[in-house]
Amino acid sequence: MHPNCEKLIQRVAEFLSEVENLTPGRDLEERLNRQYGPGNSFYDEFARLIRTGLDSDEGWVATDEVQGPRYRRTRISPPTETTRFCSITTVYMDPCAVTGGERDEVLRGQYHLHPYGEINYVIPLTDGAQLKGMSGWQGAGWTSPGPGTHHYPEARGGPVVALFFLPAGRISYDARPDAPQPISI
- Rg of the chain over CA atoms, in angstroms? 15
Domains along the chain with CATH numbers: 3-169 (2.60.120.10)
In 3-state terms, what secondary structure has residue 97? helix
CA distance linking residue 122 with residue 101, whole number of Å: 20
Burial class of residue 39 in the structure, from the number of CB atoms within 10 Å of its CB (0-12 exposed, 13-18 middle, 19+ buried): exposed
Residue 62 contacts residue 93 (beta carbons within 8 Å): no
Q: How high does pLDDT run on average in the chain?
A: 93
Contacts of residue 182, Cβ cutoff 8 Å, sequence gap at least 6:
146, 147, 148, 149
Helix (H) or strand (E) holding 47: helix 41-55
Distances in Å between the Cα of 131 and the Cα atoms of 25, 125, 157, 163 are: 16, 11, 9, 11
Give mean pLDDT, residues 156-178.
94
Task: Return the pLDDT at 180.
Answer: 92
Quote the CA–CA distance of 23 and 26 in Å, as a whole number: 9
**More confident site: 89 or 100:** 89
Q: When comparing pLDDT for 96 and 47, which is higher? A: 47
Return d(Cα 169, Cα 18) in angstroms, integer: 19
The DSSP output letter for 159 is -
Instruction: Give the pLDDT confidence of 119-165 residue by residue, as tens digits.
Output: 999 999 999 999 998 889 999 999 999 999 999 999 999 999 999 99
Helices (H), 81-149: 96-99
Indicate if the pLDDT at residue 1 is higher than 60.
yes
Measured between alpha carbons, how far is 138 from 129 in angstroms, rounded to an integer?
9
User: What is the DSSP pairing of strand 136-138 with strand 130-133?
Assistant: antiparallel
